[in-house]
Structure 1
Amino acid sequence: MKLARLGVLIDEAAMKRLHSYGLNVFERYIEEILEHAGAPFETITDIRALDDRGFDIVIASVVPENEETAERLWQYAEHGGTLIAYGGLGLLARRLGCRQRPRTGAGYARLPEFRSVPAPLRCLSAQPWHAEDAGAGAIGALHASSPQGELVGPALQTFAVGRGAIHRWAVDIPTTVVQLQQGTRPVLHDGIPAPDGTADIDEGILKADDDIELDWEWDREKTATGMPYFAYPHADYWREALMAHLVRCALAKDRTLPLLDYWPEGTGHVALISFDSDFNEDERAVVTLDVLKKLQIPSTWCMIEPGYSPQVYERVLAEGHELALHYNALEKENGIWSLEEFTRQRQWVQSATGLARVVSNKNHYTRYEGWGELFRWCEANGIAADQTRGPTKRGNVGFLFGTCHPYFPIAWCDEGNRRYDVLEIGFLTQDLNHPNLSDTTVIEPFLKQVAKVGGVAHFLFHQIHIHRLEPVRQAIREVVGKARQMGFAFWTSKQINDWQRARRTMRVTGIDAAGQVRLERGTVNEPVAVWLPTSEAPESIQSPGIVYRYGVPCIKQVHHLTREEAEC
């Protein structure tokens, strides 16, 4: 089977025009989604180059809204290509025998045809089409407001056009992923608290969790002890739906789209334990180090001024832990929200610890405001990974930003919607068994969901609570024990960052006559699994590595560093 040529159309002139009106172009986040999946693709920056590039599949991500564009896209499909759009394509609606319906607000999508995609998926808006031509294919369903709400149309429609096809999603999936992960607007005021009183986020402190796009009623579940939690990583589900559809489109053209595993071969799932050093007493640090030594796991220590004694830092590093920054911008502690103060605190932690570079940061109290300021400050200070996006209350623990995957966030339109060079690694909960927070009944559902979608199970603790509260010490033991039983490996934030960045230097370059994927390894030395989707029946394939990924059978090929590569 040949490699599918996938093109992503992001017309630069169209994007500049939208930016000139102060509009965000989150549609371009499709590049981040594909890169994270390890899918090979090429970006097309001028729609006029579409005609002669020989793409099997083209995603119309950002295109000019004019008749010339409509004709070029139509001809591409008519000549045998598969055109995919996430919303948009209004100029082609009538030609495809459809009538555009008004844009909806938040709702839920069901995709029973994609068995690997859990249901329902939260969407923040949609623009369904009504097909007046019975020849259009309809996949899935959109429901208004709630998972059982009014049916407003199909989630995905397919149209035969000449020798090719046009597939149109009613939901702008890349924008949906962005808005679930980062919100729909800058954080400028307190958020709306949970109606049941379990998450009073409106306490006068601007934080990451002041702007979330999940529903307090429909997106939370309760454990057996009554602990509420956001149960569904909806952004990760949308990634799954997008890739499941792409894989099927490639197979329908007798092509395949290889995908890279999220973690090195032999690493089942990844967990992260991080600590915030609030109050900074050496005795608390020593007790925590003793607990970790018995558990035999590495962790990430986010340091706030004035920090610990030098001998504590020496032991932290000697025992395999990471030292990071815990930026304090909390006004009641005389914190300041500014680049200058962020830089000063970064310089302090380097001076105090003796580190040449600080790789990771987590903001004290998840203090956050605006849109991309924090990520710009991280970039300016050489900090490669951030952990700030997580819950602060008992009632909003879990997947409140729709994801457990590390990701590179996108900027607002004033920065051209570029991607920040900062890896965000959000956390699920903090200090389990603390009297004011969740108990340990959330551990198992969190680990199960993270394992399903392949992200990071990030649990935050504080040394002060490890020192003072035996229930919290028991909670960290329970996290580690259950995670190990489920095949999780514990990494530091730096290890996750280093791997994710190295993984993105790998490139699938082709498939040889024997069906082996050709792979440029970039800076990766570890063995890596490549998943090769196939349309053959699993029982007919002579391979021990057949696994269902994205709902289709995939041949697993493990690529090791060759002797020649090792010698380079």
Structure 2
Amino acid sequence: MAGGGAWCSIGARIAKSDPYAAAYAEVLDHAGIPWTSLDTFAAGALKPHDVLLLCGRGSLSDPDRQALESWLKEGGLLLVSGSSWGMAELLGLGECLRRPRFEFESQDSSRRIAFGGEPAIAKSAKVLSQTSDGLAVQSMHALGKGVSAYFAPHVGQTAALMQMGRGVDTDALGPMDGSAILDDGRLRAEDGVFLDFETDRAGELFAEPWADRLKESWIEQIVQLATLSRKPLALLWHWPNGARAGASVSIDCETFDVDQVSNIQRLLRMFGCPVTWLVAQPGFPLDTYRLFRSWDHEVGLLFTLDDDSGWTEERLKSQHLALERAASVPQLISARAVDGRWKGYFDFYEMAEHVGIRVSASKGGRQRGVSGFLFGTGHPFFPTKLDGTRSKVLECPYSVYLPGEVFPEERFGALVEAILNSHGHLHIAFKSDALSQHHAVDALRNLLSLCHQQRVAFLKLSDVYAFERARRTLKMYFGGNEESRSLRLASDTDVRGLGVLLLSPGGQVELNGKAVRSLPFPAYGAQWTHVPLDLESKRLVELRLSVERDSRAA
């Protein structure tokens, strides 16, 4: 029998020869799903696992294929994505047709976009979703005691191309409707957009986080398979205290009016919303930085440059060090370039990493026609190079620039709903000289009010980084038996408001031997149990799940 442990165990094989496949690992880590990387299936490597993921454009050796087929027939649960891995027959499929881009309706009948992948002709597989010309995109197929499933889109390639965009070395051409002018002689992040202005926008806005939608469909299919194992699955939730989404405000400071700073703080305090102040040289007086700290706000760097020749690590390091000293802050971890500037592909992340910056707030559009989810995502992510290595710098893309002025106020409601549906991060970019404009401040108030009504978690960018890093580095130890499962957790740092989601057949949940209040929590197409935790550094805590007898019998 596959997967002999008490908990559902997930293994993944990521295609080494595929430059985009490594982005699958980032998707899994962001989702909070524990998984194990498998380079070989020899010597019983598959036996401990209930679910196996094959990711990207890859193939298997004959011994690995034979081991996989035996594991499947004994009850294994397989999900193949990005290509068929030469196993169309085991998947119940016929010919798989590689496509650079295709669209389909997901299982909830909403539109999805994929860059790369192989929709297939279905034979014996049950089709869950398909393209408009009838090719299978998602499918399931019974094989012995096991199930082989298919997700045709290349999730890694889609995420990489949308979220990273193109390298920026020249101006791009904007939309034909004139809602954004990109060929203006100034290189910005918006020049790297990979999405299509004609087909991927709603009116003048990129209203849908297309990359997040596709990632979620893949995660949902993983969860569907996990439920077939009849074992509990644990997942670490994205946001503190069970919030459905997060929100942050960052303000570019090229002007330094202290009175306006105090005025905006009164507004932000109404919603409990801290701010990341991205400060250019020469900056504020020292007393203002002390005020920021007393309000629990963050000081970050607004990197200034006279022209593209100033895009250097030496210049970034000089400005970063000068601001640390002026603000009397031991480490500034958040930054972006002035006016949304950008150059190259990975250059800023490499410079930032060397300097000690850990959050980039760079990816976003600053004109109406490039507003919204310009890079297909509202998720923070660690950028992945084509060699498979990931940056230490977290990108927090912004979907709103100057609410009410650039981003239209009548689209606030739809934007917040899109963020909630994708469990995303609503990052609002503002600028200091707009603090004196009543209509801009009123629009900001209205947008924050919508977020507050939906109980979105307000975080400064450094907090987003700290929580995301803590989630990903948390140590999880699974144990127990069919009657009582245990999950021990340990963190290198204090973590407040961590949410553990349990997908289980029911039963009592205990924390360190005491019953805890757990709440139903819908996510990824399933109903989970949410267990809130506060972890202290280096201190082990134990969750114990006692499964009801009726559930075991089922």
Q: Same fold (TM over 0.5)?
A: yes
Greater shift in the superposed pair: 103-112 or 91-100: 91-100
Please show how residues 76-475 of structure 1 align to structure 2 within 5 Å. 76-93=71-88, 98-112=93-107, 115=108, 119-131=110-122, 133=123, 135-143=124-132, 151-183=133-165, 185-222=166-203, 228-265=204-241, 267=243, 269-282=245-258, 284-285=260-261, 287-289=263-265, 291-292=267-268, 297-329=273-305, 331=307, 336-412=310-386, 416-434=387-405, 437-467=406-436, 469-475=437-443
3-state SS of paired residue (1:258): strand
The Cα shift of 1:549 comes to 2.1
The Cα shift of 1:270 comes to 2.3
Q: Classify 1:130/1:441 alpha carbon distance in 2 versus 1 (closer, same or farther; 3 Å).
A: same
Separation in 1, partners of 2:440, 2:310: 31
3-state SS of paired residue (1:362): strand
1:90 touches 1:100 (CA, 8 Å); kept in 2? no
1:504 alignment partner AA? R
The Cα shift of 1:249 comes to 0.6
Residue 469 (structure 2) pairs with residue 506 (structure 1): no
Separation in 2, partners of 1:103, 1:52: 28
Aligned to 2:31: 37
3-state SS of paired residue (2:478): strand
Separation in 2, partners of 1:561, 1:3: 22
Unaligned runs of 5+ in 1: 19-23, 144-150, 223-227
Aligned to 1:225: none
Q: Classify 1:557/1:316 alpha carbon distance in 2 versus 1 (closer, same or farther; 3 Å).
A: closer
Q: Classify 1:356/1:40 alpha carbon distance in 2 versus 1 (closer, same or farther; 3 Å).
A: same
The Cα shift of 1:560 comes to 4.7
Separation in 2, partners of 1:9, 1:404: 27
For the aligned residue pairs, the C-alpha RMSD in angstroms reads 2.9
The Cα shift of 1:275 comes to 0.3
Separation in 2, partners of 1:314, 1:211: 37
Separation in 2, partners of 1:51, 1:475: 56
1:443 touches 1:479 (CA, 8 Å); kept in 2? yes
2:37 alignment partner AA? T
3-state SS of paired residue (1:349): helix
2:8 touches 2:51 (CA, 8 Å); kept in 1? yes
2:383 touches 2:390 (CA, 8 Å); kept in 1? yes
1:103 alignment partner AA? R
Unaligned runs of 5+ in 2: 508-515, 542-554
Q: Aligned residues: percent identity?
A: 22
Separation in 2, partners of 1:499, 1:564: 16
1:554 alignment partner AA? W
**CA-to-partner distance for each residue in 1:446-505, whole Å, 9 max, x for gaps?**
2222122222111111111112x2211212222222222221232211111111111223
Aligned to 1:146: none
Separation in 1, partners of 2:328, 2:353: 21
1:527 touches 1:559 (CA, 8 Å); kept in 2? yes
Aligned residues: 526
Which of 525, 529, 544 matches 2:499?
A: 529
1:81 alignment partner AA? G
Q: Classify 1:42/1:563 alpha carbon distance in 2 versus 1 (closer, same or farther; 3 Å).
A: closer
1:530 alignment partner AA? V
3-state SS of paired residue (1:220): coil
**CA-to-partner distance for each residue in 1:154-176, whole Å, 9 max, x for gaps?**
11233333332322221111221
3-state SS of paired residue (1:240): helix
**CA-to-partner distance for each residue in 1:238-296, whole Å, 9 max, x for gaps?**
22212211111111122232212222226454211110012445555455456545665
Greater shift in the superposed pair: 441-450 or 264-273: 264-273
2:432 alignment partner AA? Q
3-state SS of paired residue (2:325): helix
**CA-to-partner distance for each residue in 1:40-67, whole Å, 9 max, x for gaps?**
2111133435645421111123655554
Separation in 2, partners of 1:79, 1:295: 54
2:240 touches 2:457 (CA, 8 Å); kept in 1? no
Q: Classify 1:83/1:292 alpha carbon distance in 2 versus 1 (closer, same or farther; 3 Å).
A: closer
Separation in 2, partners of 1:351, 1:545: 46
Separation in 2, partners of 1:543, 1:313: 41
The Cα shift of 1:91 comes to 2.3
Separation in 1, partners of 2:420, 2:318: 38
Which of 9, 15, 19 matches 2:13?
A: 9
**CA-to-partner distance for each residue in 1:96-155, whole Å, 9 max, x for gaps?**
56433442232322122xx4xx71111123312213x3x222110124xxxxxxx25111
Aligned to 2:21: 27
Residue 15 (structure 2) pairs with residue 57 (structure 1): no
The Cα shift of 1:555 comes to 2.4
**CA-to-partner distance for each residue in 1:65-98, whole Å, 9 max, x for gaps?**
5544444433332343222211223522356564
2:504 touches 2:528 (CA, 8 Å); kept in 1? yes
Aligned to 1:147: none
Q: Classify 1:205/1:100 alpha carbon distance in 2 versus 1 (closer, same or farther; 3 Å).
A: farther
Aligned to 2:523: 549
Q: Classify 1:160/1:363 alpha carbon distance in 2 versus 1 (closer, same or farther; 3 Å).
A: same
Separation in 1, partners of 2:242, 2:128: 36
Separation in 2, partners of 1:32, 1:374: 19
TM-score by length of 1: 0.85
1:33 alignment partner AA? V
3-state SS of paired residue (1:122): strand
Q: Classify 1:245/1:314 alpha carbon distance in 2 versus 1 (closer, same or farther; 3 Å).
A: same
TM-score by length of 2: 0.87
Q: Classify 1:307/1:556 alpha carbon distance in 2 versus 1 (closer, same or farther; 3 Å).
A: closer
3-state SS of paired residue (2:86): helix
Separation in 2, partners of 1:338, 1:48: 47
2:404 touches 2:444 (CA, 8 Å); kept in 1? no
3-state SS of paired residue (2:363): coil
Separation in 2, partners of 1:266, 1:82: 29
Q: Classify 1:556/1:315 alpha carbon distance in 2 versus 1 (closer, same or farther; 3 Å).
A: closer
1:70 touches 1:91 (CA, 8 Å); kept in 2? no
Greater shift in the superposed pair: 166-175 or 66-75: 66-75
Q: Classify 1:409/1:120 alpha carbon distance in 2 versus 1 (closer, same or farther; 3 Å).
A: same
Q: Classify 1:49/1:88 alpha carbon distance in 2 versus 1 (closer, same or farther; 3 Å).
A: farther
